Amino acid sequence: MVNPVERCSRVELASGSKIPCLGLGTYLNTERTKEVIKSAILDHGYRHIDTATDYENEAQIGEALEECMAVGVAREDLFITTKIWISDYGDIEGACRESLRKLRLSYIDMFMMHWMVLPLDFESEDWRPTTPPFYLLWKQMEGLVDQNLVKNIAVSNCTIPMMVDLLAGCRIKPAVN
């Protein structure tokens, strides 16, 4: 059984979760992803893996995570972050469940809204938004925590005006931006 050593400190989030200070980002990592993730975890002590739906590598990461856990890395020692893409704002729970399936996990440590840009219909006369307002989308994110599908919810690339709007009505504040 492997007992790889974690090699960085952690910071406690408002939820009580402890996030490793150093994480492995997987953007543009679509070749040999499984091998890279396994080596990062087993050989180099990484515990925080960061991915996103839009990176198109969640399934390969899931295979690597499953193999690492099979040789002794405890799930609770890992911190897995993934992000929902704008195109999935219409079905946040469905997108989360699909990420869980691909990652082969029962929960996600941090689920983020990626690139918080309000999609507008520029063909309409008044450039109408094509998704609900962010505060309503955030309520759906909070529901994921309530269902124990995710431990923390967060935003990525959120502007100050968007953050102020979101904070005005949220029950669970974003863990990070």
- Residues serving a catalytic function are 55
Cα distance between residue 20 and residue 22, in whole Å: 5
Inter-residue contact 10 to 16 (CB < 8 Å): no
Residue 23 β-bridge partners: 48
Say whether 143 sits in a helix, a strand or coil.
helix
92: its two tokens: 């946040």
Inter-residue contact 23 to 51 (CB < 8 Å): no
